[in-house]
Amino acid sequence: MRHFGTTIFAEMSALAVRTGAVNLGQGFPDNDGPPEMLEAAAEALRTGHNQYPPGPGIPALRAAIAGHQRRFWSLEYDPDGEVLVTAGATEAVAAAILGLCEAGDEVVCFEPYYDSYAASIALAGAVRRPVTLQPADGGRYSFDPDELRAAFGPRTRVVLLNSPHNPTGKVFTRAELTQIAELCQEHGVYAVTDEVYEHLVYSDAAEPVHIPLASLPGMRERTVRISSAGKTFSCTGWKIGWASGPAELITAVTRVKQFLTYVNGAPFQPAVAVALGLPDSYYDGFRGGLEARRDQLVAGLTDAGFGVLPSEGTYFVTADITPLGGTDGMEFCRSLPERSGVVAVPTEVFYDDPRAGKRLVRFAFCKRPDVIDEAARRLRG
């Protein structure tokens, strides 16, 4: 782990604080979540939910997680044995990789990828086998099916998939997911899917619907499906996540998770249970509001001269600095707070080969409209 330094998010957020820049680097909202959830958390704090919760999570939350997956994705999980509450999705991913991989095993993943993936694979002593997502026609990201097939081999143990995808905003299509599923079954490989943006697929996506890999034929029994409350309910600091899957796989994840945080977030767990049961109008409004803010930021970046790539989902949009004369995203982002008073994240840090993302930067649009307007004004100069 010695070559893993301070995360890019810590570096850029510190720059934002030091310079007073508008922080469009890190993906956290600047508004609180639904009032029903917040009131439930306050009530839990007042009424004694402040000690260790059960190791797998409180029964009400596990039941709510199972009900949510049945309601939206027609996936059935037993709350007692097939659902595990974790300290956010990051812990769930780490525990899944550590629980399923031995030293020398290989993990197929799609780059660019969230930085904790590489760290989790390294902690397990496993080996990354990246498949690169490239902008294709119209700027939408895709992968080479032959490159994906070549990444699988006798040591492949896990495919780690994030859809909707951070940082690109890509939403994997059914055809792409089918290719992944077929290779998993052909090679006897498990899938770990990070689906924290499951409710943020926008109306102009190639296929404007989220498709869990576990919902494809033959994949439920070999998939650990991960999500969290942070992105859907604007409570990223609560760190309430979960993993779902067949009991055998969740047992493997639990063996590791119990020695990481053991348990967490006792008063937040009943509150997230309430949030998961909110009506469809909440989810529709949440998605529609973020799509509008995406469009607002895309317009601002375009006016400022960036080459903006399509974002089909998530909190993020990727922009090319080449039209502005930029050639080095890291240098561009480190100087942007002083030059323009805005923070972004260089996408190159999410690649094994930084050259693949050298001229790309990521902006977050999960901010209030007035904040996005101010950032756009500063970028226009």
- Digit-coded pLDDT (tens) for 212-225: 999 999 999 999 99
Q: What is the structure's pLDDT at 381? A: 85
Other C-beta atoms lying within 10 Å of the C-beta of residue 290: 21
**Residue 105 CB partners (closer than 8 Å, separation 6+):** 124, 126, 127, 155, 156, 157, 158
Residue 70: is its pLDDT beyond 90?
yes
Q: How many CB atoms lie within 10 A of CB 6?
A: 8
The pLDDT value recorded for residue 162 is 98
pLDDT given for residue 198 in this prediction: 98
Do residues 232 and 222 touch, judged by C-beta distance below 8 A?
Answer: no
CA distance 320 to 326: 8
Residue 48: what pLDDT?
A: 95
Instruction: Quote the mean pLDDT of the chain.
Output: 96
State residue 314's pLDDT score: 98
Q: Determine the 3-state secondary structure of 130 from DSSP.
A: strand
For residue 343, what are its two tokens?
């923070």
Are 8-33+281-380 and 35-276 in the same CATH fold?
Answer: no
| pLDDT reported for residue 95 | 98
Determine how many CB atoms are found less than 10 A away from the CB of residue 218.
11
Among 79, 110, 35, smallest CA distance to 351 is for: 110
Q: 310: closest CA among 197, 207, 204, 164?
A: 204
**Average pLDDT score over residue span 100-110:** 98
Q: 161 near 212, Cβ under 8 Å? A: no
Does the pLDDT of residue 305 top 80, yes or no?
yes
pLDDT of residue 237: 96
**pLDDT given for residue 9 in this prediction:** 84
| pLDDT given at position 171 | 98
What are 323-381's pLDDT values in tens digits?
Answer: 999 999 999 999 999 999 999 999 999 999 899 999 999 999 999 999 999 999 999 98
Class level of CATH domain 35-276 = alpha beta
Amino acid at 124: A
pTM metric for this prediction: 0.96
- Whether 163 and 133 have beta carbons less than 8 Å apart is answered as no
Provide CB contacts within 8 A for 24, sequence distance 6+. Answer: 297, 342, 343, 344, 363, 364, 365, 367, 372, 375
**Whether 112 contacts 135, CB under 8 Å:** no
CA distance linking residue 207 with residue 135, whole number of Å: 17
pLDDT reported for residue 12: 86
| Interatomic CA distance for residues 130 and 148, integer angstroms | 9
Burial of 251 from C-beta contacts in 10 A (0-12 / 13-18 / 19+): middle
In the three-class reduction of DSSP (H, G, I as helix; E, B as strand; rest coil), residue 279 is classed as coil
Query: What pLDDT does 10 receive?
Result: 86
**Banded pLDDT at 7 (limits 50, 70, 90):** confident
Stretch 101-122: mean pLDDT, rounded? 96
Distance CA 271, CA 202 (A): 27
Q: How confident is the model at residue 282 (pLDDT cuts 50, 70, 90)?
A: very high
Greater pLDDT, 314 or 9: 314
CATH number, domain 8-33+281-380, options 3.30.160.20, 2.40.10.340, 2.60.40.1930, 3.90.1150.10: 3.90.1150.10
**pLDDT above 90 for 137:** no
* Secondary structure (3-state) at 308: strand
Q: pLDDT-based confidence at 58, cuts 50/70/90?
A: very high
Span 182-212, pLDDT tens digits: 999 999 999 999 999 999 999 999 999 999 9
* Average pLDDT rounded to a whole number, residues 225-245: 98
pLDDT for 2 beyond 80: no
- The answer on pLDDT for 246 being more than 90 is yes
Q: At which residue do the structure tokens 């209030």 appear?
A: 368
Beta bridge partners of 158: 107, 190
The DSSP element (H or E) to which 286 belongs, if any, is helix 280-303
Task: Check whether 5 has a pLDDT greater than 90.
Answer: no
pLDDT value at residue 136: 86
Q: How far apart are CA 323 and CA 317, in angstroms?
A: 16
Residue 3: the pLDDT is 75
Q: Residues 151-188: pLDDT tens digits?
A: 999 999 999 999 999 999 999 999 999 999 999 999 99
- What's the pLDDT score for residue 225? 98
What is the percent of the chain where pLDDT is above 90?
93
How many other CB atoms are found less than 10 A from the CB of residue 31? 9
pLDDT at 13: 87
Looking at residue 16, its pLDDT comes to 87
Domain boundaries, the chain: 8-33+281-380, 35-276
